[in-house]
Amino acid sequence: MGIIKKLPVYAEKIPGGGLVTTSLNSAFTLTQAKSLWYFLFGTACCAIELMATGASRYDFDRLGMIFRASPRQSDLLIVAGTITLKMAPVVKRLYEQMAEPRYVLAMGGCAIGGGPFYYDSYAVLKGIDKIIPVDVYVPGCPPRPEALLQGCLEVGKKIRTLKMDDWS
Amino acid sequence: MTKEELTEYIKDNFSGEPEVIENDQPEPYFIVKAEDVVAFSRFIHDDPKLQMTFMMSLSGVDTGERYEIVYNICSYRLKHRVFFKTILNHEKPEVDTVLDIWPAANWYEREVWELFGITIRNHPNLTRFLLPEDWDEGFPMCKGWVGKDVIPFPERK
Ligand code: SF4
């Protein structure tokens, strides 16, 4: 990201450079938002819905979303399922292994706040936002594929509003 | 063998004295003393008329006054099943492993050790695998256990 990040700073100094910067910014955010590769991370029943969304009927691919099996190749972490206390360090580590810019979508009640395991549970993390930053929450138990698709579009919208300087 | 035949056969041929629990299930149900567990398991596993070679499940129970370990065993070849349990006191819950009779008992026994705090004697690898590695809050499956992060279920009005 180094040179791309520096580019607007240099470009803005030359006359008419602002035009270049905004166009570049628009192009970069657009391409990013339209090809969100997501990391398959299903730990419980929500994963079934995630698979259904990825399969042909709802078809994630038409949004340019292709699943990757490695965090190093993905832009979006979809946490689909219950995160137990034992799993929590793993989630954190996988998030840290993702290349920047990276986004997180919390799918389902469990990932948002413990879901059905909120009360009387000794083993479940009460929401992944306790350990990693979350961009979009998709509530439901499990959310319908339409809801998940909308959530991913929201991630895209969020990316479109970013400036290139925001990409750290 | 039918349930009655099985019950009789085991009572007549096992040297210890298993207590029979009357139930209306299709399987006989025994209470075996904690020191007899291995001998009883060995007997039902090796006896040619029983051949209970498959462990379906092993579970711990805490009733509040005592611990129990319930063994569910079946024989694929002869198509019959038997359940038995052993009762342990709260002060010193200890039982011998049945790992060398049914290897499937390995993780079940670790689970019982981890979640109930029942010591399994002679188990080769009694280590944590369900709870986080740095867990230090005791045994969550015991009655009356309260962890520091557990949010109790609110009373229904
Ligand atoms: S939110 Fe509901 S469907 Fe999703 S993982 Fe939790 S329990 Fe399963």
Closest partner residue to B153 (CB to CB) among A85, A86, A120 is A120
pLDDT confidence of A2, banded at 50, 70, 90?
low
Q: Is B147–A118 a contact, with Cβ atoms under 8 angstroms apart?
A: no
Ligand 1 atom nearest to CA at A112: 1
Q: Give the chain B residue nearest A126 (alpha carbons).
A: B149
Which of A122, A125, A131 to mutate to probe the B interface, most B CBs <10 Å?
A122
pLDDT tens for each residue of B117-146 = 899 989 898 888 888 888 888 888 888 888
- Cα angle B92, B60, B54 (rounded to 5 degrees) comes to 120
Task: Answer for the pair A5, A164: CB distance below 8 angstroms, yes or no.
Answer: yes
User: DSSP class of residue A34?
Assistant: H
- Residue of B133, B137, B153 lying closest to A119 (CB–CB): B153
Identify all chain B residues contacting A124, using CB atoms and an 8 Å cutoff. none
Task: Quick: pLDDT tens for B32-79.
Answer: 998 889 999 999 999 998 899 999 999 999 998 899 999 999 999 998
CA distance B123 to B58: 15
pTM: 0.80
CATH superfamily of this structure's domain B3-94: NADH:ubiquinone oxidoreductase Nqo5 subunit (3.30.460.80)
